[in-house]
Structure 1
């Protein structure tokens, strides 16, 4: 018994040239200036790379952040660009709303927003220079009850979706992609990725395993007290697939191509926990029958 065909999206890296406009400012810290002296701990933005750096020395003058690792430590992407880096846990934050207009320069058929906080809706449009608006869909991200029943609907615990997936974008290579997120004062998004989807297998078998790898520190002191330091975590999943014989070589070749490339892996649209943005740790294909083969896939998400 299967859940759903395995869907894989290999993201297209978003470059500064692709970001046509956004209302998220890039003003986390002052821009680095070669003629300014920085004290230890001072933070700056290096505009060319859209990165934040922190001074590791006092009297830091004229030292270029990307080329002087002893003088500057990279902190991460700027708030505007966190949504397009490979980290799921680092979020682009802006109260109430944020928008992005992207010109990918190629056809993209899938879009995903991951690690959403405080989002209530996401609208995605494709606007082609010749055909106008060719796609316009809004995803409702309102909270839903965690259990079924009238009491739970009115009084029970509710959860808010943490991701939005759109796998039906039409193929218009010249179109601009407009993304509008609305939400609360805590609105934040970890990753927005776009790419072409691929599907494999006749289905992900029931018995799929999901979980997380927690990188928090949990230690006991010499007096027996527990020290807990919350850190990032990564999602994990293991899928068993049933392949047609003609898919064996295609899947094997695809896995070789993405061996060092983070992808979006979707085992089932019913369960958010079967969506993993990361890489595969291992996969095996067992040619069990003449027409069908079995495959085992183990995934590990990015933090």
Structure 2
């Protein structure tokens, strides 16, 4: 059993993302004088757009002509790890990627004590916190996300790597003026992060055995008359049904915490040492009966936004 924890994330804006090694734009900036062809792509204010009709001087954001000339493709690569919404639509299957490493520094401007990364493809993650006026980092830890298989010398040298996809840490020193540097390293490959959340961790009970993991894919299969199939690949979504016990005097506090997260993504963690119980998403219903002997139980289903 472990503490069931939720971390509402702070919004990461250009003012908060103070340093990074990621390109500022995925495509050329939009210009009114350019004659765009179908399929051309542009970047405007951290968002990408694709031309769906040939056009000139039809701004992707302000043009109201029907049918529209542009299709929103969502956030640029740099910000996909922080936001996946296109209006009210949350786009699954997107991530931030960069050759060799993703190296960024966040300045929250407020107290935080937790950080989570999900959908990681990397060999290691280093988290460093620094505070102005303090010569040494106040926090500096490196976490291995890919380990050699154990059990025998043969397995160590020739066996497959054991990998972790998610990381959650709740021991960040809560300085209000700290910078948090995150280095996601993938030497010789491509570093990838699905979502990164920084915020203040809140306890909402104790996760227990009975928690279950789910995965739904959205590919479509069309069968032809001769038995052949056409498979159209689409995204997939993880889900976790957390089984949680909670003391009677914690129920109101947990309800208040979850009320503030209606339709809002957050980091949910059943046990930080079990990376498959770390998920960023939205929760479904929260129902708990009256506690018996000051002990209540509830199921919290969280659907991933990855």
Pairwise same-fold verdict (TM > 0.5): yes
Is residue 2:13 matched to residue 1:9? no
2:80/2:95 contact within 8 Å kept: yes
1:100 to 96, 104, 124: 104
Match of 2:88 in 1: none
Alpha-carbon spacing, 1:71–1:216, altered in 2? closer, same or farther (3 Å): same
Name the SS of the counterpart of 2:196 in structure 1.
strand
How far the C-alpha of 1:152 sits from its partner, in A, is: 3.5
What is the CA distance between 1:257 and its match in structure 2? 1.1
1:88 to partner: Cα distance: 6.1
Pick which of 10-19 and 216-225 moved more. 216-225
CA contact (8 A) 1:211 1:235 kept: yes
Contact 2:167/2:278 (8 A) holds in 1: no
- Contact 1:88–1:115 under 8 Å retained in 2: no
Report the counterpart of residue 22 of structure 1 in structure 2.
Answer: 20
Which residue matches 1:78?
A: 76
Give the structure 2 partner of residue 124 of structure 1: 127
**Residues 134 and 187 from structure 1, CA distance in 2 versus in 1: closer, same or farther, beyond 3 angstroms?**
same
Q: 1:113 Cα deviation (Å)?
A: 1.8
- Once the 2 structures are TM-superposed, how far is the Cα of residue 148 of structure 1 from its aligned partner? 4.6
Q: Which runs of 5+ in 2 are unaligned?
A: 85-90
Query: What is the rounded CA distance, in whole Å, between the counterparts of 2:180 and 2:301 in structure 1?
Result: 32
How far the C-alpha of 1:8 sits from its partner, in A, is 0.8
User: What residue is the counterpart of 2:267 in the other structure?
Assistant: 264
1:130 Cα deviation (Å)? 3.0
2:242 corresponding residue in structure 1: 239
Contact 1:41/1:55 (CA < 8 Å) preserved in 2? yes
Q: How many residues align?
A: 295
Instruction: State the Cα distance separating 1:179 from its structure 2 match.
Output: 1.4
How big is the shift at 1:43? Answer: 0.4
The separation in 2 between residues aligned to 1:270 and 1:88, in whole angstroms, is: 25
Match of 1:38 among 36, 39, 50: 36
Q: TM-score, structure 1 length as denominator?
A: 0.91
State the Cα RMSD in Å: 1.9
Which ranges of structure 1 fall in alignment gaps of 5 or more residues? none
CA contact (8 A) 2:125 2:145 kept: yes
Give the TM-score of the pair, scaled to structure 2.
0.90
When residues 222 and 270 of structure 1 are mapped into structure 2, their CA distance, relative to the original with a 3 A threshold, is farther
Structure 1 runs of 4+ off > 6 angstroms?
none
Q: Comparing 239-248 with 180-189, which one deviates more in the overlay?
A: 180-189
Q: Give the C-alpha shift of residue 76 in structure 1.
A: 1.8
1:65 maps onto 2:63 in alignment: no
The corresponding residue for 1:205 is 208
Partner Cα separation in structure 1 for residue 233 and residue 38 of structure 2: 26
Does residue 53 (structure 1) correspond to residue 49 (structure 2)? The answer is yes
Aligned-partner Cα distance in 2 for 1:226–1:271: 38
